[in-house]
Structure 1
């Protein structure tokens, strides 16, 4: 006998509000639930994990809090706008702190570059490394701003599911040379190879190869300069928890430890979901915050796909995998005083390493690392006097021939990461190690159901972006919508939160609310 969910809020059920099921309590799913709740839907959010936040959640180990995924907040106004739609004040619920400098980049030759919001200071940083590149930097900022207004404020905040919409913007794409890669554009503005790296690596934060991803993504430099880089006290987990609180206050419901086995269709329309245990939930609208590949290949496995077939997914290029070592250190709060909140350690190669990761699928002997040390801002991440870190290394995903056997090689690679950290950033690290946790592409595959263990879903190349990316409104089933990193506009906190804004413009407003369909 089918079990019916009786845990939905009684008041909302009695009001006869249409039911929206959101699969996944990542940031995109939570934002979608907030917007649907504000539109008058009775919302159920389902997630198989034990905490909300998805890749932005956290783990607790021996008094240390490890932020598992995103560590910085850019474009904070998109969160404030989301809260405002729900009649709430973001800054009342979340303590957001500016981080300055944003991050420090270090090269093997000992040179460093400190990125910050002050344009004059940034100009001097460029001048210090390469006096002849100051004019190029100023032009790069203008280039970045132009792409921000078009790529983020225009395309990134509206649906791109109609081919006609693509045709309309092609001239603008051509004028902005979207066919050129991020690195190629940086190389036109900077002569110094270190600066070419410093102003082209940002696509790695959303799973893209800087040597192949469209130059539209240089807009990140404008985001940083215009809006700054921020940290949420309590980590991104604190944002996710606050989002869940808004959903509950709206009369919605968040169910954890609840996996979804299949999206149910009737007459070509999404009508609900079947849970892992067999329970079926009826719905008027289904929103998937699961990876787009998982949504189409697994959750819709019993239905023929017109566009996102297995063959098409197999032809797609996926973002790289991630090796992340989370570790605590004992008695180090006053140690390593030159190590800030965010540090990027470059290996001896840039293009060669990227090619190994994205094209060859080879685990290289050398590496570049992003190191997160939140305890310099948020002492609550570790016991008094201790530190909490994570070190992230981009690695190949699991869909290459002879892919990495992480069960066999994971600890050896962790030791290599430790050796790099001890040599270049944290001398004596091994003498202070506390709790430790490692995530590999295997973890991303098993924990987040990410195809091929990719860190950021489908890679944001030009022919896998905008119209060419899985759409926010599905062509495979009426009443099915997608949010999150695998859909338009893409990965990263601004992208996944914006995907929910796009969704809200596509989902009809319930007639009972007295508002016409949007």
Structure 2
């Protein structure tokens, strides 16, 4: 008998309940483990980091909590439904605070756009910038709602792994002009370039180029208006910690600081994982919350693949990389009164900068920035009287032919970023910086095992979405399932949590899968 045969025999005799191994304790992996536990699986979650949450985790430095990834919660009902599936009450366990305003967008000419949930307040913002665009904005909102019901509530909450699933929805895709980009659709509704940016930038938060990503993603405007934008006190890491607790309460296990080296296969079926230590952990099903590209290219490297071959993966368009500077400032809680929780600081170019990032693979001299100041809402993110910030700049991923090494350019890039922040948003901040941490695409590649250091896995273009995206049930190997940003329905908190909902519809009954 092989080592795997021996381990499987021992596994079969050990416990009567079906065992599921989940690779990765990111939010998609945690949500999947919760769903599997609720179905009756005995679950083991494995992650190379020391805390659960993946990109949604945090680190502490000198009393500052740096929320590493997602900073807002939209569609909170998907969390409520996930908790309810486990017999729990989300709002009793997580303190979610609605934000008003959601965020402020600033342009180099000094103009601003404040996004709020109230429709009349939003119309007034549009009217202030461009009175002739109010009617077009109203049409855009109707367009957004229509795509929400089809793209999120329908397609986003069921599997799209069969070609017939795609064929059935093609007429609806055509009617909604899914071939048109987000920016192109916004341009048909409003004329002011600032408003076109304000209505089209959202795909950047899930790794997509607004000038090429399908217009289905304008549904985000409806999400914001209908359900609001929220912040979890303690950061998204607090949500992840609660998810981990539910898993252990269900009888599941989290093995942190443990890396999976390979998915084990027996008779054409996933039967567990081999750890970097050389140990084997057997299972009845395997769920990978690792990046889909990493799953197929690395974890199945010794298995033949029909669809997701190295050549196919290399040909995909990957989301951009991220340069993120986390820093704390001393004694600034009462400074910069006009800087709220979320600010988007635009550079002088929109289309040109996006082209540099996604097509040319060039680190530009200019940039647009997302600035997160959680201490406006949650003082626990910093010592008393101090502030915590996170400044994100979209940059090219590492897969472009002439990619620069961040070890060589990071210091210079931060100097330019500091100058822009000093001049346009936070005057005098640099002399007050205390704790500091920088993540580059190279960090994402090493910390999250992200192909090319991409921030959000495969880019959500139309021919890389739905059926065209890696499926939640693997077409390469029986007993293998995928969850998280790289699979259907895609990146962003609503997407990764929904991927677990889809997964739960696909896994076999635990009573029938033992053996």
TM-score scaled by length of structure 2: 0.97
Query: In the alignment, which residue of structure 1 is the partner of 2:176?
Result: 176
2: CA distance, partners of 1:418 / 1:501: 42
Q: Tell me the SS of whatever aligns to 2:120.
A: helix
Q: Tell me the SS of whatever aligns to 2:343.
A: strand
Query: In the alignment, which residue of structure 2 is the partner of 1:287?
Result: 287
CA deviations on 1:326-349 (whole Å, 9 max, x unpaired) are 000000000001000000000000
2: CA distance, partners of 1:234 / 1:415: 30
Query: In the alignment, which residue of structure 1 is the partner of 2:433?
Result: 433
CA deviations on 1:70-108 (whole Å, 9 max, x unpaired) are 000000000000000000000111000001100000000
Alignment of 1:332-371 (within 5 A): 332-371=332-371
1:198 aligns with 2:198: yes
2: CA distance, partners of 1:484 / 1:412: 34
Alignment of 1:104-503 (within 5 A): 104-503=104-503
Query: In the alignment, which residue of structure 2 is the partner of 1:516?
Result: none
1: CA distance, partners of 2:460 / 2:197: 19
1: CA distance, partners of 2:404 / 2:438: 15
Q: Tell me the SS of whatever aligns to 1:81.
A: helix
Alignment of 1:65-80 (within 5 A): 65-80=65-80
The Cα shift of 1:2 comes to: 6.3
CA deviations on 1:447-487 (whole Å, 9 max, x unpaired) are 00000000000000000000000000001100000000000
Alpha carbons 1:181, 1:210 under 8 Å: kept: yes
CA deviations on 1:319-373 (whole Å, 9 max, x unpaired) are 0000000000000000001000000000000000000000000000000000000
> How many pairs are equivalent?
509
Query: In the alignment, which residue of structure 1 is the partner of 2:63?
Result: 63
Q: Runs ≥4 in structure 1, deviation > 3 angstroms?
A: 1-4, 12-15
Alpha carbons 2:18, 2:511 under 8 Å: kept: no
Q: Tell me the SS of whatever aligns to 1:511.
A: coil
Alpha carbons 2:17, 2:511 under 8 Å: kept: no
The Cα shift of 1:179 comes to: 0.2
1: CA distance, partners of 2:191 / 2:23: 47
Alpha carbons 1:79, 1:90 under 8 Å: kept: yes
Query: In the alignment, which residue of structure 2 is the partner of 1:507?
Result: 507
Alpha carbons 2:484, 2:499 under 8 Å: kept: yes
Alpha carbons 1:159, 1:502 under 8 Å: kept: yes
Unaligned runs of 5+ in 1: 514-518
Q: Tell me the SS of whatever aligns to 1:494.
A: helix
1: CA distance, partners of 2:270 / 2:479: 5
Query: In the alignment, which residue of structure 1 is the partner of 2:45?
Result: 45
The Cα shift of 1:3 comes to: 11
2: CA distance, partners of 1:2 / 1:100: 58
1: CA distance, partners of 2:3 / 2:380: 45
The Cα shift of 1:14 comes to: 6.8
1: CA distance, partners of 2:177 / 2:34: 37
The Cα shift of 1:13 comes to: 9.3
Alpha carbons 1:21, 1:286 under 8 Å: kept: yes
1: CA distance, partners of 2:397 / 2:202: 19
1: CA distance, partners of 2:225 / 2:139: 14
CA deviations on 1:358-410 (whole Å, 9 max, x unpaired) are 00000000000000000000000000000000000000000111102100101
C-alpha change, 1:13 and 1:60, in structure 2 (3 Å) is farther
1:85 aligns with 2:85: yes
Q: Tell me the SS of whatever aligns to 2:101.
A: coil
Q: Tell me the SS of whatever aligns to 1:388.
A: strand
Alpha carbons 1:34, 1:86 under 8 Å: kept: yes
Q: Tell me the SS of whatever aligns to 2:388.
A: strand
Q: Tell me the SS of whatever aligns to 2:160.
A: coil
Q: Tell me the SS of whatever aligns to 1:307.
A: coil
The Cα shift of 1:511 comes to: 2.3
Q: Tell me the SS of whatever aligns to 1:199.
A: helix
2: CA distance, partners of 1:33 / 1:187: 42
1: CA distance, partners of 2:491 / 2:471: 14
1: CA distance, partners of 2:336 / 2:48: 39
The Cα shift of 1:142 comes to: 0.2
CA deviations on 1:426-446 (whole Å, 9 max, x unpaired) are 000111111100000000000
